[in-house]
Structure 1
């Protein structure tokens, strides 16, 4: 079991979506370092999405996004000057894309299971309600029969 199977699927999806967007933008704009090759580490998307999930920072490092400080703030900067950095970025991006597809399928499957459980619960509640109504109707008929004089 991977460490992500116990995490809420929405959190994993958010992390992967952010990573995918970040890596895709860097690949789409390989010669434009700003704003596509640098992201402030304190942005909400990173702090509550990518970096919140275990392994999020490691994913950035694997994709050749390195932490640096600029104007007293931490940034992650894509090092496109490093040998084979675009190929590595593409490979990590492909892995993230596949992981995103798997996470989306998992989320859909879990949602379908929850819906099925809700439907089963609603069905059981309906059956129990009908049983209770039937019991009440039988009691009422029994009481009516008990107080009704015989016509015999």
Structure 2
């Protein structure tokens, strides 16, 4: 089978595996048993909840007549995409206490999408170092915007010891 890898870069290999099994009309459970794996493992991979290791990728590729290394290649590119996604926009987490975000996993926060809640929380409960980190990361304009529509007032924003 000629497997076109370029168009699938960055996609979890489990999603591709699920599509291939559906296309060949193969159920996950019998497939897992036929290659000597637990059905739960294959299910977790096809749902994107578990990474695909190289040994298992080779077993699956052999069973489905795929090009050797195709799924391992996809797993590598998926991991690269995930690392780039995390590193793209993250403040210096060493300057933020994890206790500020007690109700969530700080490594999974979308710093761009949830900026209003983050800024409000840090300005409500954070110390000066944490506030300065957010000022460096977001800039004073975005911070003013996030704090303008909050019920708890007044928030004072300082930049270089000058009130903004």
Greater strand percent: which structure?
1
TM-score (normalised: structure 1): 0.30
Where relative contact order (Cα < 8 A, 6+ residues apart) is larger, the structure is 1
Q: Which of these two proteins has the greater Rg computed from alpha carbons?
A: 1
**Normalization by structure 2: what TM-score?**
0.29
Greater helix content: 1
